[in-house]
Amino acid sequence: RTLAEMDDRLVHCRACPRLVAWREQVARDKRAAFRDEEYWGRPVPGFGPADAALLIVGLAPAAHGANRTGRMFTGDRSGDFLYAAMYEAGLASQPTATRPGDGLVLHGTRITSPVHCAPPANRPTTAERDTCRHWLDRELTLLAPTLRSVIVLGGFGWQALLPVLAAAGWVIPRPLPRFGHGAHAELPAASPDREPLHLFGCYHVSQQNTFTGRLTPAMLTDVLTSAAETAGL
Ligand code: SF4
């Protein structure tokens, strides 16, 4: 299957009862406030080209952002922060993301998350992360031939991604690389058909981090620029 075919299947997934109930409840409650647009309320697939050299891994869709628009980090303050920095780093065609069809194109970069449905309080359970893992496994396997760098936004994504990277053909060093802002690890290829992969840690673009100044635009742009250079973008 191609990545596009995988995404077509993903948007119909109903494997996590708590998340299905929540994403659909939010959509029902908020539809009236957004009468002029479709309120998505379904799993959100990854966004960006199938031959990406750089992957950005978040946490899960936000209830009123990606769960509303159906596109990763689109329609809320976290996304505004991320896409402005991606534009600054030359990875996005425009600094804003409002909804699918707004003309935004990502250059050599894809964005995904280890959990594809919006969770209550932005906190998926480890069981939900594990249930969703097969989608990330498949996505990484499909991206692997062109993938050179990964940026992980936050510790949840970091923990979720390490076993997926191992399954997709990279060697995870021991002791395990620890998450932190500015963390960087080079993962050797486990087989000759893979290139080494560069893994970067970055604080999540949540309002909790951006409003408090824990993550500034310059800090994010620095990580994006390093990862893009390493990926040859
Ligand atoms: Fe399916 Fe993942 Fe959504 Fe769970 S979180 S329902 S596994 S897409």
Q: What is the pLDDT of residues 120-174, one digit of tens each?
A: 999 999 999 999 999 999 999 999 999 999 999 999 999 999 999 999 999 999 9
Return the residue whose CA atom lies nearest to atom 2 of ligand 1: 132
Based on the structure, what is the number of domains in the chain? Answer: 1
Those residues whose C-beta lies under 8 Å from the C-beta of residue 74, and which sit 6 or more positions away, are: 47, 65, 66, 97, 98, 99, 100, 104
pLDDT at 8: 97
Quote the ligand 1 centre to 41 CA distance (angstroms): 12
Distance between CA atoms of residues 38 and 34, nearest Å = 8
Q: What is the pLDDT of residues 122-131, one digit of tens each?
A: 999 999 999 9
For residues 31 and 193, the model is more confident at 193
User: What pTM does this model have?
Assistant: 0.97
Q: What is the pLDDT of residues 85-117, one digit of tens each?
A: 999 999 999 999 999 999 999 999 999 999 999
Cβ atoms of 45 and 10 within 8 Å: the answer is yes
Quote the ligand 1 centre to 15 CA distance (angstroms): 5
pLDDT at 154: 97
State the CATH number of the domain containing residue 184: 3.40.470.10
- CA-based nearest residue to 24, from 11, 44, 42, 10: 42
Return the residue whose CA atom lies nearest to atom 3 of ligand 1: 117
Q: What's the domain range around 75? A: 3-230
